[in-house]
Amino acid sequence: MSETLVPERLGIVIPEASAENGLTVINQIERNIALMRENYLGLTILNADDKIGYQAVRRARITVKQARVQVDKARKYLNEDHKQAIERNNNMANAIKIQLEPIEAELQAREDWYEGERARIEREELERKNQKIRDRVQLIMSYKPVFNGVTYELGGFFISHEDVARFDDADFDRELTRLKAEFDILDAQRIENERQAEAQRIQRQQEAEELKAQQAQLRAEREALEKEKLEMQQQRTAPPPPIQVVVFPAAESAEAEDLPEVPLHERQWAQDVQVVEGLISEFHDLCEFLQFQSAPLIEIKSQIDTQMLAWEKQLTVAIKPAARKKYFKSITQ
């Protein structure tokens, strides 16, 4: 093995680390790492009899180990110095912080007060705006518009909720005046419609009361006619007064003569009376049968009842005994 490969001949010197040269030792060993890698890793042991190669490798390893040990010692020295420096720095910083903290706290308090006041002012301003919007909405809703989630509408008037919040007082007052004018028009129409509806209701009620009175009068007149007709029937069906029969002696053995035949006009009169009585009864049944619910048909029913009652009166008068007597008299003349 060549002597140039022996570690001592390579110029690699491992310095001893101390409290004063820790960083220098680390830097110097770091510069030798490339040289160690290049030369030491090229050392070989040919065989078990190659004692020179073995010793060269061993010395190289010890050199690398020494470098590692010195680096670790330097690290410890540096750390110790660093700890002392940290402690000195901490003490100095703490002393300064103690003096700065009251100043910072006072300034922080002033800053917090400012930010709190700004936040309070913003909240109050936002609440004022929201309250103003609520007041405007309440004014608008007092006129009973329809709100569809976007706009308020009443007749031909409409305004968006965005405009309610955005408009200044002058613009909003102008829109509110338009809304009030539209409301007054619609309200006047509503009042007029209600007045007309009430007038129609009163008129229908009066007509119903008049119709009821007419029907009551018709019933009373019909009952009077029925009573009069019953009396006439009783008069016609009542047995005639007993006839005083005078029997003359000459006629006792004679056969009874046949009764005289009823004249034609009397038979016709009797038949007509039966027809009239049947017709009056049918009129009465028809009036009782016709019962309506709607006002127009009820009014027509009243007219029918009135007309039929007039016919009943005329027919009843026509078959009274006075009319019969007058008719028979005209026939016999």
Domain boundaries, the chain: 3-108, 265-333
Q: Say what the pLDDT of residue 59 is.
A: 93
Band (pLDDT 50/70/90 cuts) for residue 2 is: very low
Q: Say what the pLDDT of residue 8 is.
A: 52
Q: Say what the pLDDT of residue 259 is.
A: 54
* Residues whose CB falls within 8 Å of the CB of residue 9, separated by 6 or more in sequence, listed in order: 3
Q: What is the C-alpha radius of gyration for the chain, rounded to an integer number of angstroms?
A: 69
Residues counted in the chain: 333
Environment class of residue 232 by beta-carbon count within 10 Å: exposed (0-12), middle (13-18) or buried (19+)?
A: middle
Q: Are the C-beta atoms of 137 and 126 separated by less than 8 Å?
A: no
Higher pLDDT, 54 or 314: 54
What angle in degrees, to the nearest 10, is found between the helix axes of 264-289 and 295-318? 160
Please check the confidence at residue 71 and state whether its pLDDT lies above 50.
yes
Q: Say what the pLDDT of residue 168 is.
A: 94
Q: Are the C-beta atoms of 98 and 49 separated by less than 8 Å?
A: no
Please check the confidence at residue 299 and state whether its pLDDT lies above 90.
no
Please check the confidence at residue 256 and state whether its pLDDT lies above 60.
no
Higher pLDDT, 303 or 60: 60
CA 291/CA 301 separation, integer angstroms: 8
* Residues whose CB falls within 8 Å of the CB of residue 316, separated by 6 or more in sequence, listed in order: 225, 228, 229, 280
- pTM for the full model? 0.40
Could you list the beta-strand ranges (E) of the chain. Answer: 146-147, 151-154, 157-160
Higher pLDDT, 235 or 231: 231
CA 157/CA 136 separation, integer angstroms: 16
CA 138/CA 145 separation, integer angstroms: 11
- How confident is the model over 112-126, as pLDDT tens digits? 999 999 999 999 999
